[in-house]
Each structure stands twice: as structure tokens, then as C-alpha cells.
Amino acid sequence: MTHVPPAPNGFEWRQFSDVFVLKPLGWNERSKVDTTKEPSVDLHATSPETFSETEFFETGFTLQIIRNAGALYSASAEAVASAHLLPFLQERAKEDILLLNEEVQGEIVRMIARYVDHSPGLRPVTVHKFLAVNNTADCVHVFTFESPVETWDENWAMYGETILGNLCMKQDTPANEPIY
């Protein structure tokens, strides 16, 4: 069992599949784990707003876990992660892509992208995606934090950095440095 440190004030630890996440107190939460379809995808979300499968939130955190990713697509899990991220970046203007980074730490490939989403009819939203890819385990974890552009700095400082900076995989111990 993984041991996590005490949650900071205003947060509680929640286990979403194989990841421990700091969830802000009072935030709504939904999970959907579907192992009957291929690829098997776990979906977990939390937000201060009320949301459903058809009513999306503007501010919140989402975790998607794609298992057997490479085997299903006859490619490495890293290639599957790149294919997942690419459409989000291709439909953005160059000035709306705020951050793009990739690094390898042991057997984990970390991909980070931050961009502004100007979807028609909606307020502009800043989206921060962090993908943790394990080719050996053939698994892709997609962590997403988003908030309207006008409240991004405040929400990122209050919630996003804490949530993404303290993720803990079930088989690991918490990292001392942010992984986002």
C-alpha cells in the first residue's frame, strides 16, 4: 500500500484507480471505469461546478487512464500518447500554445502541454495537460487541469499546482518534486 503525506488544508486524498490525487474539499466528483471496451479507459473528474457526462465544467481536474494502449494500436504507448495530444495542439493557433515539453525519467515519458481553448460559444479556457507514459506497462495517464483564462492564474495557484504537483502512483511513494 502506498503511504501518502497528510493532505494540506483544504484538500483530501482520493484514490482514482491507481493514482492518489489531492481533491479540494467540497469539489464534486465523478468516475467512470469501463473495462468491457477496448481500449479500457478509466475516467475520473473533480470540479467545484456541478457536471455530468453531458454538462462539462470550466474549472476542474480530469484523469484518463488508457490501458493496453500500445498493444491495441500496434504502437508504443508513447506513440499512442502523442497521437492523443496532437489533435489538441493542431487545432490551436501558435500563440495559443503556451507550453510544450517532453522529458524521460527512467521508464516514464512525461509530456506537458498548456494551451488556450477558444471553443465557439464558450469562454476561453486555459488547459494544462500532463501525460505520464509507461511503455513497459503499456499505459498512458492523462492528467488535465483547466480553468477560464480570466481566472487561470488564481485557480492554477490555488488548485492546479497542488493537484498536479502531488500526484502519487499507487506503486510509488510521493515524489518530492512536482511531476507536471
Give this prediction's pTM.
0.89
Q: How many Cβ atoms are within 10 Å of 26's Cβ, its own excluded?
A: 8
Spatial separation of the C-alpha atoms in residues 177 and 30, rounded to whole Å: 28
pLDDT at residue 1 in the model? 45
Quote the strand ranges of 17-118, DSSP E: 19-24, 28-34, 41-47, 60-67, 97-105, 108-117
Distance in Å from the first CA to the final CA of the chain = 23
Over the chain (180 residues), the average pLDDT of each successive run of 10 is 84 94 97 73 93 93 90 86 92 95 91 95 96 92 97 98 92 41
pLDDT tens-digit readout, 38-51? 666 789 999 999 99
